[in-house]
C-alpha cells in the first residue's frame, strides 16, 4: 500500500523510522565517545599543538570531548565542568541535548552539508519562517548568513545603500559588533582595531548613564548637527555584551531611536548576543521597541546568523548574497531551538528565560550576603548575567575566572573598569546546576581573596 504523502517541509523526525534511527545513532556515538579520553599528558600535548598552530595558546586549557549533559561539558580528558558560558552564547540548551542532536543527525543525513542562496532547502525555509514569526509587523524580510559579523556587514551595507550618500554610523561607546574591517572600526575597543586603517566614518555616543540620562541624546544631537546628512544609521546593542553587560530602560532607547527616526537615521539593532536570552527572541520586543526598528541582526544561539529588515530597507538586487546561507545542520537545529523556545514555555514575561534570571539573582544575592566584598553590582537580564567581582579590576576578574575553571566552573569576562564575570547560561539550567555552580563560584572567590589578601 502506498504511504500517505507527507508535507515535504515538515520535520523528518516525525517519521518513526527516522526518529528511531536518529536516537540509536546519538546513543551509539555517546556510548563510544564516553569510553574515550585522553591521558593528562595527551590532553596537554593536544592543547600545546593547538596553541602552536594558532600562534598563541587558548585563553583557558579547554578541549571538549563531546558527550556533555545540560550545563555540564565533558572535556577530552574525561573531566566534567559546569559550563555557564555556553561557547560565549551558542549552546542555548547546553550540551548533549538529545532532541537537538537527533535533529542534527537527521539534517546531516540529507542531501547537502551546506545550503546557499541559489538553491535553499527546507531547513533554510524553516529558519526564515521561524525568525519572521518573532520580528513583529514592521520587519518582514531576512537573509541568512553564517556569522554575527557577516549579518552585521549585510546590515551595514543595507543601511548605507538606503541612506546614501550618508556614510557615517553612530554606535555606543564600549559596543562590540564583530571583527571585519568595517565592524572593527564601529566596535569601540582600541585593541580590536590596532594597526588597521580607519575610514573615520564611525561616531560614538555614551551608553545610558542613570546619573545623567540626557548625555546620550546631547552627544547624538551634536553629531547630527555637525555631520548633517551624513549619518546613515545608529547601531544599538540593547544589552552590551563584550562591553560589560550594560542595560538601559526602554524609555532611554525609545527617546534615542525616536531622535534617529526624526533625523532620517536608520535604527539598526544588533541582537547577535541578546538573541533568545532576554525573554523574547529579540530584546527589542522584550523592551517594546518594535515600532522603531528598521534593521536587526542575530546570531550565536541561532546556530547561524541573519539580517532582518523592513520593506523600506529591502536592498537592491546584488547588494547581499554570498555562497553559503548556513550549514544544513545549523539551519535545522537553529529552527528547532526556536520551536522549543516557543513550545516549552521559555518566552514571555513569566517564561522560563525570565524565571532563570530571577533564580540566578536569588543565588547571587544569597552569595552576596555571605561575601559582601566579593560580589559587586549585578547586571544583565534572563539568560545573560554578570556581576563585578571584588574591586572590578581586571586582575580580580581574570584570577576568579581561572580559579573557577580549576574548581570546575566556566565563566567569562565582560567589560573593563569595572571588569565583570559574564555568564551566558543555558536556558534549561536546572536548580541543581545553579546550586553546584554557585558552590564552586564561592570556593573560587575565597581562593582569590586569600591569594590577594582581600576580605570577602
Candidate residues 77, 83, 188, 270; the one interacting with ligand PLP per rule CB under 6 A: 270
3-state SS string over the chain?
A: CCCCCCCCCCCHHHCHHHHHHHHHHHHHHHHHHHCCCCCHHHHHHHHHHHHHHHCCCCCCCCCECCCCEECEEEECCCCEEEECCHHHHCCCCCECCHHHHHHHHHHHCCCCCEEECCCCCHHHHHHHHHHHCCCCCCEEEEEEECCHHHHHHHHHHHHHHHHCCCCEEEEECCCCCCCCHHHHHHCCCHHHHCCCCCCCCEEEECCCCCCCCCHHHHHHHHHHHHCCCCEEEEEECCCCCCCCCCCCCHHHHHHHHHHHHHCCCEEEEEECCCCCCCCCCCHHHHCCCCCCCCEEEECHHHCCEEEEEEHHHCCCCCCCCCCEEEEHHHHHHHHHHHHHHHHCCCCCCCCHHHHHHHHHHHHHHHHHHHCCCCEEEEEEECCEEEEEECCCCHHHHHHHHHHHHHHCEECEEECCCCCEEEEECCCCCCHHHHHHHHHHHHHHHHHHHHHHCCCC
188 binds ligand PLP (CB under 6 A): no
Smaller CB separation from ligand PLP, 67 or 86: 86
Candidate residues 67, 154, 273, 379; the one interacting with ligand PLP per rule CB under 6 A: 273
Q: What residues from 294 to 323 belong to the interface with ligand PLP (CB under 6 A)?
A: 299
Rounded to a whole number of angstroms, the minimum distance from the CB of residue 156 to ligand PLP is 12
Smaller CB separation from ligand PLP, 67 or 152: 152
Smaller CB separation from ligand PLP, 282 or 438: 282
Rounded to a whole number of angstroms, the minimum distance from the CB of residue 236 to ligand PLP is 10
Q: What residues from 60 to 119 belong to the interface with ligand PLP (CB under 6 A)?
A: 88
* Beta-strand pair 324-327/114-116: antiparallel
242 binds ligand PLP (CB under 6 A): yes
Rounded to a whole number of angstroms, the minimum distance from the CB of residue 378 to ligand PLP is 20
Smaller CB separation from ligand PLP, 151 or 445: 151
Rounded to a whole number of angstroms, the minimum distance from the CB of residue 90 to ligand PLP is 9
Number of residues that bind ligand PLP (CB under 6 A): 15
Q: How many CA atoms, within 13 angstroms, populate the side-chain half-sphere of residue 15?
A: 15
Smaller CB separation from ligand PLP, 15 or 88: 88
247 binds ligand PLP (CB under 6 A): no
Candidate residues 205, 220, 235, 272; the one interacting with ligand PLP per rule CB under 6 A: 272
Candidate residues 171, 177, 328, 429; the one interacting with ligand PLP per rule CB under 6 A: 177
178 binds ligand PLP (CB under 6 A): yes
Candidate residues 83, 237, 407, 433; the one interacting with ligand PLP per rule CB under 6 A: 237
Rounded to a whole number of angstroms, the minimum distance from the CB of residue 181 to ligand PLP is 13
Given a contact cutoff of 8 angstroms between Cβ atoms, the answer to whether 455 and 446 are in contact is: no
Candidate residues 23, 64, 140, 147; the one interacting with ligand PLP per rule CB under 6 A: 147
Of 126-134, 237-245, 396-404, 405-413: span binding ligand PLP (CB under 6 A): 237-245
Smaller CB separation from ligand PLP, 102 or 237: 237
Of 14-22, 234-242, 251-259, 416-424: span binding ligand PLP (CB under 6 A): 234-242
Number of other CB atoms surrounding residue 113 within 10 Å: 10
Interface mask toward ligand PLP for 358-397; x: CB under 6 A: ----------------------------------------
Number of other CB atoms surrounding residue 412 within 10 Å: 22
Smaller CB separation from ligand PLP, 152 or 328: 152
Query: Could you list the residues that contact ligand PLP (CB under 6 A)?
Result: 88, 147-149, 152, 176-178, 237, 241-242, 270, 272-273, 299
Amino acid at each position: 500500500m502506498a504511504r500517505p504523502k507527507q508535507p515535504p517541509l515538515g520535520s523528518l523526525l516525525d517519521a518513526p523510522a527516522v526518529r528511531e534511527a536518529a536516537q540509536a545513532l546519538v546513543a551509539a556515538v555517546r556510548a563510544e565517545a564516553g569510553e574515550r579520553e585522553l591521558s593528562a599528558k595527551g590532553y596537554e600535548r593536544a592543547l600545546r599543538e593547538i596553541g602552536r598552530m594558532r600562534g598563541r595558546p587558548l585563553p583557558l586549557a579547554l578541549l571538549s570531548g563531546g558527550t556533555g549533559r545540560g550545563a555540564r561539558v565533558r572535556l577530552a580528558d574525561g573531566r566534567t565542568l559546569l559550563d555557564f558560558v555556553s561557547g560565549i552564547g551558542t549552546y542555548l540548551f547546553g550540551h548533549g541535548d538529545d532532541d537537538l542532536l537527533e535533529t542534527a543527525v537527521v539534517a546531516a543525513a540529507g542531501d547537502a552539508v551546506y545550503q546557499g542562496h541559489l538553491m535553499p532547502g527546507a531547513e533554510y525555509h524553516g529558519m526564515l519562517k521561524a525568525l519572521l514569526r518573532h520580528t513583529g509587523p514592521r520587519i518582514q524580510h531576512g537573509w541568512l548568513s553564517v556569522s554575527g559579523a557577516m549579518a552585521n556587514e549585510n546590515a551595514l551595507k543595507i543601511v548605507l545603500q538606503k541612506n546614501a550618500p550618508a556614510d557615517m554610523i553612530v554606535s555606543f561607546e564600549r559596543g562590540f559588533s564583530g571583527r571585519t574591517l568595517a565592524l572593527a572600526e564601529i566596535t569601540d575597543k582600541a585593541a580590536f582595531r590596532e594597526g588597521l586603517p580607519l575610514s573615520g566614518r564611525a561616531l560614538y555616543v555614551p551608553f545610558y548613564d542613570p546619573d545623567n540620562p540626557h548625555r546620550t541624546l546631547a552627544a547624538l544631537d551634536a553629531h547630527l548637527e555637525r555631520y548633517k546628512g551624513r549619518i546613515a544609521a545608529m547601531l544599538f546593542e540593547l544589552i552590551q555584551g563584550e562591553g560589560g553587560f550594560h542595560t538601559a530602560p526602554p524609555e532611554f532607547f525609545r527617546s534615542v531611536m525616536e531622535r534617529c527616526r526624526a533625523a532620517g537615521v536608520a535604527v539598526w539593532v544588533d541582537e547577535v548576543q541578546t538573541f533568545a536570552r532576554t525573554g523574547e527572541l529579540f530584546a527589542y520586543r522584550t523592551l517594546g521597541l518594535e515600532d522603531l526598528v528598521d534593521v536587526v541582526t542575530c546570531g550565536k544561539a541561532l546556530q547561524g546568523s541573519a539580517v532582518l529588515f523592513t520593506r523600506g530597507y529591502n536592498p537592491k538586487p546584488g547588494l547581499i548574497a554570498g555562497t553559503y546561507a548556513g550549514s544544513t545542520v545549523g539551519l535545522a537545529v537553529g529552527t528547532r531551538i526556536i520551536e522549543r523556545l516557543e513550545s516549552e514555555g521559555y518566552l514571555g514575561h513569566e517564561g522560563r528565560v525570565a524565571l532563570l534570571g530571577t533564580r540566578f539573582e536569588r543565588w547571587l544575592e544569597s552569595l552576596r550576603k555571605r561575601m559582601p566584598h566579593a560580589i559587586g553590582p549585578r547586571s544583565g537580564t534572563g539568560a545573560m548575567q554578570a556581576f563585578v567581582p571584588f574591586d572590578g579590576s581586571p586582575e580580580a576578574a581574570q584570577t576568579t575566572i581561572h580559579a573557577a575553571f580549576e574548581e570546575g566552573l566556566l565563566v567569562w569576562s565582560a567589560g573593563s573598569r569595572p571588569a565583570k564575570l559574564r555568564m551566558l547560561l543555558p536556558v534549561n539550567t536546572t536548580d541543581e546546576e545553579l546550586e553546584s555552580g554557585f558552590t564552586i563560584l564561592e570556593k573560587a572567590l575565597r581562593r582569590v581573596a586569600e591569594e590577594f589578601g582581600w576580605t570577602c
